[in-house]
């Protein structure tokens, strides 16, 4: 009977190994240390354990086991019972799911912060590249990419955004970004068809009714984006920081043949 029970335990351990390896790998992907992940996988297989028990089961060095357990406790993945020695047990699966979701949210926040940091570092470097030959004109193909470039340009604005948008659908994709720019006290000059626009935008922007067919975005008198065709498959834009092209973009706003002032 003892031999059969031992054999059954061995088979159970072998069956559980792939699941435990996947759990450990997932925990590491979420930013949890390797020793902590191994300790957690060992704890889910027993009702509770001491640090010494886990060292024997996992091979984690005695100099690392308490750091691993402290990390798990900090993440809310284990419960600790006071005593000499302390006893540890894994939290129920539902609670572990909630705790790991929190870890994932925190990880995403850090990553989003890192992206914003990189963007903030890139902006002055790009602005310093004033030679026209470094950025004469680039083509952006596909409606999602054109919209994304326009939204990025608006988000980077510090002083002024000029928008001439004869296509209402395209303008609607930028409307929320323009509202945000207005809240940052960026000066807005907008020419659109006879449509209803966001109330905050209507208050903060200088508005004109567009009477021609054009799609132009100028930001801070330094960047220009012209858009040709706005259907999903055919849309493309040309973006540049060339002074002449930027000036031409501004001239469209000033031209009475293009726009008329709203009463």
| pLDDT confidence tier of residue 18, bands split at 50, 70 and 90 | low
Residues 6+ apart with CB under 8 A from 74: none
Q: What phi, psi does 103 have (nearest 5°)?
A: -60, -40
- CB–CB of 11/23 below 8 Å? no
For residues 127-155, average pLDDT: 74
pLDDT in tens, 56-73: 988 999 889 999 999 888
**Intra-chain end-to-end CA distance of the chain, in Å:** 96
For residues 166-188, average pLDDT: 91
Which class in CATH covers the domain with range 2-97? mainly alpha
pLDDT in tens, 211-258: 777 889 999 999 999 888 777 667 888 888 888 888 888 888 877 456
* Residue 230, token pair as written in the block: 């706005």
Residues 59, 81: Cα–Cα separation, whole Å? 22
By DSSP bridging, strand 259-261 and strand 205-210 are antiparallel
For residues 4-22, average pLDDT: 52
Residues 242, 130: Cα–Cα separation, whole Å? 9
The angle formed by the CA atoms of residues 137, 138 and 143, to the nearest 5 degrees, is 135
> By C-alpha distance, which of 128, 204, 197, 147 is closest to 168?
197
Residue 211 is classified by DSSP as: -
The CATH H-level (homologous superfamily) assignment of domain 135-261 is Endonuclease Chain A (3.30.870.10)
Where do the CATH 1.10.10.10 domains begin and end in the chain? Answer: 2-97
| pLDDT confidence tier of residue 126, bands split at 50, 70 and 90 | low
State yes or no: cis peptide before 85, omega within 30 of 0.
yes
Where do the CATH 3.30.870.10 domains begin and end in the chain? Answer: 135-261
Asked if the model's pLDDT at residue 138 lies above 70, the reply is yes
- CB–CB of 165/171 below 8 Å? yes
| pLDDT confidence tier of residue 179, bands split at 50, 70 and 90 | very high
Q: What phi, psi does 87 have (nearest 5°)?
A: -115, 140
């Amino acid at each position: 009977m003892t031999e059969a029970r031992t054999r059954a335990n061995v088979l159970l351990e072998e069956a559980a190994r792939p699941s435990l390896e996947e759990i450990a790998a997932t925990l590491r992907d979420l930013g949890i240390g390797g020793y902590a992940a191994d300790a957690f996988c060992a704890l889910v297989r027993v009702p509770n354990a001491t640090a010494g028990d886990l060292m024997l089961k996992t091979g984690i060095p005695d100099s690392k086991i308490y750091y691993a357990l402290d990390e798990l406790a900090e993440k809310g993945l284990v419960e600790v019972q006071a005593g000499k020695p302390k006893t540890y047990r894994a939290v129920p699966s539902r609670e572990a799911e909630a705790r790991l979701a929190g870890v994932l949210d925190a990880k995403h926040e850090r990553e989003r912060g890192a992206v914003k940091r990189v963007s903030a570092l890139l902006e002055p470097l790009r602005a310093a590249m004033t030679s026209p030959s470094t950025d004469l004109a680039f083509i952006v193909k596909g409606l999602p990419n054109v919209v994304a470039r326009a939204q990025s340009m608006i988000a980077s604005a510090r002083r002024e955004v000029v928008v001439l948008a004869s296509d209402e659908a395209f303008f609607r994709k930028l409307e929320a970004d323009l509202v945000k720019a207005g809240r940052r006290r960026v000066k807005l000059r907008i020419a659109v068809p006879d449509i209803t626009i966001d109330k905050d935008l209507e208050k903060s922007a200088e508005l004109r009714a567009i009477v021609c067919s054009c799609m132009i975005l100028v930001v801070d008198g330094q960047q220009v984006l012209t858009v040709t065709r706005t259907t999903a498959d055919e849309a493309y834009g040309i973006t540049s920081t060339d002074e002449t092209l930027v000036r031409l973009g501004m001239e469209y706003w000033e031209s009475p043949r293009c726009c008329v002032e709203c009463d």
